[in-house]
Structure 1
Amino acid sequence: MTIDQTGALPRLADRSPQITGAEIASSLVPPSQFEHATFESYRPDHDYPSQAEAVSTLKLFAKAWEPQRPAGLFSRSRKKVDAMRPGVYLDGGFGVGKTHLLAALWHEAPGPKYFGTFIEYTALVGALGYAGAVDLLRGSTLICIDEFELDDPGDTMMMTRMLGELVASGTRIAATSNTPPNALGEGRFAASDFLREIQSLSSNFETIRIDGLDYRRRDTTGSAITVDAGEYERVLGALASRGEAATDDSFDGLIAHLATVHPSRYIKMLDGVDVIGLRDVAVLHDQMAALRLVAFIDRVYDAEIPIVQTGVALNDVFDEEMLGGGYRKKYLRSVSRMIALTAGELPPHDE
């Protein structure tokens, strides 16, 4: 099969999906790679004791959902559980396993419970209205927020207000956050920044520090795999001929299209897609476009969809100014993920 410029394969840029509040709510579960995440399957790095300590603290936090036996009401363990705040904030650099631990905690909680990114919760408010979102989430045992965004003061205040109402009704909260603007460190998040941004809600959170190195660090020093135009057509043709649902987009076309789709709907753009083809990848110089790509790659990574690409290696797509700025941590995480997404085995030439 020959892939030509007219689009013999479907394009992601032709997809403009809509998403309802009910669909968003039903999707508020851990990504597929964390479907079976447990505290036991987390592998602490013994060079960083805070990782094992984080597991112990989260296990204690999870005990709040265990049935209370009369004989244990006055136990030391019960007192420790009761003394814990209703929220936990996992404070650490990227790649230390925060999402794994957040998902493990979610699996420990009885329903109803929700797990999503900050963007997904703000999209829920957009779909249902503030009151509708609160009504839907009220009564849940646990709400997990991965990558709590600190970039938009309005959204941060809205989320803080909503979580305050839910905590007051008995819901427990667990969160991680991204790096706020102008926080140049590529490793740790600053707990003080998170707690300052969520203002009145901060007293409800207990900070759990997780030190360590990015478990993908071997990939961040590598490079995304690129192919030439002929190999690109051969690979996508071979994949399509064996029944793989491949897409074929120009990089510029996809980037332009992402600006027309709310990030909460990126996941629906990927429905039924097995492989993503990207032609003529180029360096980005517009920060808003770069941040949209980061959000899109997060969804691709969660869905575990490999990428075949031509042009500039995806790990070089962010310019030097971006990598030296306030979103450095976001870009480096995305680089790590894009290297992993292009590392899949290509079909042999005899297919």
Structure 2
Amino acid sequence: MPVTAVQSQDPTATTSLAAVRPAVTPERLLADLVPPRHFAEARFASYRANPEHPSQAATLDRLQEVAAEIAAPAPSGLRALLGRRRTPPAVYMDGGFGVGKTHLLTSLAHAVTEACGPGTAAYGTFVEYTNLVGALGFLPTVEALSAKSLVCIDEFELDDPGDTVLMSRLLRELADRGVALAATSNTLPDALGEGRFAAEDFLREIQALADRFEVLRVDGEDYRHRAVVTDAAPLAADAVRAAVADRPGAVLDDFADLLAHLATVHPSRYGALLDGVELVGLTGVRPVTRQEVALRVVVLVDRLYDRDVPVLLSGVDGTTHRQLFSDEMLRGGYRKKYYRALSRLGALAEEGRRLADPA
């Protein structure tokens, strides 16, 4: 059964994420490995390559070829008897934030599903796969995913050595069993101008699989920053409360209370925390000072973005979402996560602002 928000005794009262105690089964973790709602309609045909960055169109063309390779019939006859198995494709998309890599990755997942049938493509973030291994165990995870034609890993992360080794081993097992692989990762904005991308780090960390992966570089600017005002002033607390009042699926939380609650919920359950939620209002937003708390915020923002849940933000002393993470955090080992979260939160906050003030 899906987990839904816990309502208060007063049916007219606004619900709160801090009141939700989600419980998630391993079966649900597997069932949730599909493209998120935000990209439910993403297809190759709807991707708009920027002509100023030819690598976007080149990546689009190559992924369409990969989809066709995966959907092609398996070898038969003499070739099959001789044991000549087709090597499954493995592609890695590298680029900055908001250049359309996730749109392309989900388009690939949709194309394979439409060609090979429901359940043939698994799609999840790096964190969702590591959570799956934690819930099922390594070998059961391999068995479950080896039944897929394609496994997509969005936001491949290199900041935790243990998780990186675990994921590298998982990918190797899947590739050896004939599963096609596709992954994305982000390059930091301050490295783009230097021509430095993350592919070298990725290939080094996956070691034995490096020669199997084809690197596809995706250049471009962050479309979320082109399309929205990401530095708008925060809303007044009263405006946030008014916007969520009596709105179906809306929740209202004090930021400090929500952060305290997140510490009691495993990140693998943050998606279930948002079941039935259509709008999140947050008051008392202030800079996060502790790393472990900031990382929980990143996971929550990712799940909000996956589900297209707008956010209304009211900051203390004029705090904007841009000030959520300290300069030290943005220079540290988890900076890719934080930059991605800021990019996504800015888009969600602007959508929330439009809901609060449609005029």
Q: Alignment partner of 2:41: what SS?
A: coil
Q: Which of 264, 273, 276 is equivalent to 2:277?
A: 273
Match of 1:65 in 2: 70
1:224 shift after superposition: 4.5
Match of 1:101 in 2: 104
Match of 1:162 in 2: 170
Match of 1:89 in 2: 92
Match of 1:44 in 2: 49
CA contact (8 A) 2:109 2:121 kept: yes
User: Counterparts of 1:245 and 1:90 in 2: how far apart (Å)?
Assistant: 35
User: Counterparts of 1:167 and 1:12 in 2: how far apart (Å)?
Assistant: 39
Tell me the amino acid that sits aligned with residue 221 of structure 2.
L
CA contact (8 A) 2:87 2:178 kept: no
1:261 shift after superposition: 1.6
Kindly indicate whether residue 274 of structure 2 is the aligned counterpart of residue 251 of structure 1.
no
User: Counterparts of 1:148 and 1:157 in 2: how far apart (Å)?
Assistant: 12
Tell me the amino acid that sits aligned with residue 341 of structure 2.
S
Q: Which of 228, 241, 265 is equivalent to 1:261?
A: 265
Q: Which of 194, 198, 205 is equivalent to 1:190?
A: 198
User: Counterparts of 1:321 and 1:236 in 2: how far apart (Å)?
Assistant: 34
**Deviation string, structure 1 residues 68-99 (Cα, Å, up to 9, x no partner):** 599xxxxxxxxxxx998621000111111100
Number of equivalenced pairs: 327
Give the direction of change, closer, same or farther, for the CA distance of 1:319–1:67 in structure 2 (3 Å limit). closer
Give the direction of change, closer, same or farther, for the CA distance of 1:69–1:165 in structure 2 (3 Å limit). closer
Q: Report the RMSD for the aligned CA atoms in angstroms.
A: 2.6
Match of 1:284 in 2: 288
User: Counterparts of 1:133 and 1:286 in 2: how far apart (Å)?
Assistant: 32
User: Counterparts of 1:174 and 1:308 in 2: how far apart (Å)?
Assistant: 34
Kindly indicate whether residue 325 of structure 2 is the aligned counterpart of residue 321 of structure 1.
no
Unaligned stretches of 5+ in structure 1? 1-5, 71-81
Match of 1:16 in 2: 21
Match of 2:224 in 1: 216
CA contact (8 A) 2:153 2:184 kept: yes
Unaligned stretches of 5+ in structure 2? 1-9, 76-84
User: Counterparts of 2:103 and 2:184 in 1: how far apart (Å)?
Assistant: 11
User: Counterparts of 1:59 and 1:348 in 2: how far apart (Å)?
Assistant: 41
Tell me the amino acid that sits aligned with residue 205 of structure 1.
F
1:219 shift after superposition: 5.5
User: Counterparts of 1:284 and 1:43 in 2: how far apart (Å)?
Assistant: 36
CA contact (8 A) 1:150 1:177 kept: no
**Deviation string, structure 1 residues 134-169 (Cα, Å, up to 9, x no partner):** 111112100000011212111111111121111111
Superposition TM-score, scaled by structure 2 size: 0.84
Superposition TM-score, scaled by structure 1 size: 0.85
Q: Which of 135, 157, 165 is equivalent to 1:127?
A: 135
CA contact (8 A) 2:56 2:219 kept: yes
User: Counterparts of 1:254 and 1:69 in 2: how far apart (Å)?
Assistant: 50
**Deviation string, structure 1 residues 85-136 (Cα, Å, up to 9, x no partner):** 6210001111111001101111121242200011111111111111111111
Match of 1:73 in 2: none
User: Counterparts of 1:87 and 1:219 in 2: how far apart (Å)?
Assistant: 32
